[in-house]
Amino acid sequence: MDFSVKKLASGAGLFLTRAVQFTEEKLGQAEKTELDAKFENLISRADCTKHWTEKIYRQTEVLLQPNPSARIEEFLFEKLDWKVPSRVTNAELLGQYMQDAAKEFDLGMPYGNTLEKVGECEKRLGEAEKEFLQTSAISFLTPLRNFLEGDWRTISKERRLLENLRLDLDACKTRVKKAKVAEAKAATAPDFQETRPRNYVLSASASALWTEEVEKAEHELRIAQTEFDRQAEVTRLLLEGISSTHVNHLRCLHEFVEAQAAYYKQCHLHMQELQKELGRLPNAFALNSTNAIATPSMVTEGSSSPVETDTLKIEEVQPPATGTRKARVLYDYDAADSSELSLLADELITVYTVPGMDSDWLIGEKGNHKGKVPVTYLELLS
């Protein structure tokens, strides 16, 4: 019990000494040991790294999981060391709703069949998103969190200890300076005419006491200086390790970019496949009137079309004298048979219609090649 009280009193005294030294420094009444410029640069670099790593980490969390409630739930599960439950992505949920609706609307009908195809694609997009989230969390978020919760906490702890030892060192310097001033005053020779002989003994005794106090203060100063130098070297090594942290984060950033590129590429491929499937499905609606193309001759009301799509021979089709238009290709398209024309994104082609042709298709020409092209892959130009 007595030991605990002494330890508590010693700790309180040390805390009070540091508080006094810190206050006097702020008031400009005490000197402060300054770190060298290189050390200060290392500290600034470390603070900058922590600041931006934390911002990037938080915003990446928002990107991967926009729902704040879900983020809090995952955080609590991690802190409690529980397994985070698997979540259904929004795309997967949308795909399931579309497929359920398709069954209600009859898969044999155009709308139901299209809902089934789109729903299946949305599910694949959701699976790709889930894989991307998992990969990003492991390869990018985890290393950033390990730095903030591991390396940075160690650096902060050692910096606080260094600051405390600096306060102790400066307090020792102050005590040494005060002791030397007192010793000099005590050693001043007395006036032989006004001072009685008894005061010579008192003056010599005081001088000896202050000399002993100076030696004690200088001994404490040497100890404080040694501890401060040792801690400064430890802290310097940790701060220099920030360079290794940058290299590690750079590698993680490359992995994050690769994961994003793979995810978006996979999504693009899924959407291209969906567009091709939808392009081959019969639609129950005609082209919008704003995108309609004038035919060389209008079919009179009530008359039947002289040409059917199934019997259309591409090599016999001739472009009309008027009514052709330019169109820009939106996506790559691979011809399914010899009657279709393969397309490349962003190229310009000439398109027109022929009587009796399915409204979802046009005749496209580029150079000496000619064939059917799906309207959904084109942007009709005025």
| Cβ neighbours of residue 217 closer than 8 Å, sequence gap 6 or more | 172, 175, 176, 179
| Predicted local distance difference test score (pLDDT) of residue 84 | 67
What is the Cα gyration radius of the chain? 41
Mean pLDDT is lowest, of 88-102, 231-245, 275-289, for 275-289
Q: What is the token pair recorded at 195?
A: 């001072």
What is the band of 111 on the pLDDT scale with cuts at 50, 70, 90? Answer: confident
Q: What is the token pair recorded at 192?
A: 């032989």
pLDDT higher than 90, residue 81: no
Mean pLDDT of the chain: 80
| Predicted local distance difference test score (pLDDT) of residue 91 | 92
| Predicted local distance difference test score (pLDDT) of residue 12 | 62
**Largest interatomic CA distance in the chain:** 144
What DSSP designation does 350 have? E
Pairing assessment for the beta strands 369-374 and 378-380 based on DSSP bridges:
unpaired
CATH superfamily of 11-189+207-280: Arfaptin homology (AH) domain/BAR domain (1.20.1270.60)
pLDDT tens track for 148-193 = 999 999 999 999 999 999 888 888 888 888 877 777 776 665 544 4
User: Distance between CA atoms of 283 and 286, rounded to whole angstroms?
Assistant: 8
pLDDT higher than 70, residue 109: yes
The answer, as to whether pTM is greater than 0.85, is: no
User: Distance between CA atoms of 188 and 315, rounded to whole angstroms?
Assistant: 122
pLDDT tens track for 300-345 = 343 333 334 444 566 667 777 677 888 999 888 888 888 889 998 8
| Predicted local distance difference test score (pLDDT) of residue 355 | 78
pLDDT higher than 50, residue 130: yes
Mean pLDDT is lowest, of 32-46, 105-119, 190-204, for 190-204
Q: Which of 35, 50, 48, 51 is nearest to 235 (CA)?
A: 35
User: Distance between CA atoms of 115 and 134, rounded to whole angstroms?
Assistant: 28
User: Distance between CA atoms of 194 and 7, rounded to whole angstroms?
Assistant: 49
Mean pLDDT of 251-259: 96
Q: Which residue has the tokens 């040494």?
A: 176
Q: What is the token pair recorded at 60?
A: 């990446």
Its CATH class, for the domain covering 324-381, is mainly beta
Domain boundaries, the chain: 11-189+207-280, 324-381
pLDDT higher than 90, residue 292: no
| Predicted local distance difference test score (pLDDT) of residue 87 | 81
| Predicted local distance difference test score (pLDDT) of residue 179 | 78
| Predicted local distance difference test score (pLDDT) of residue 190 | 54
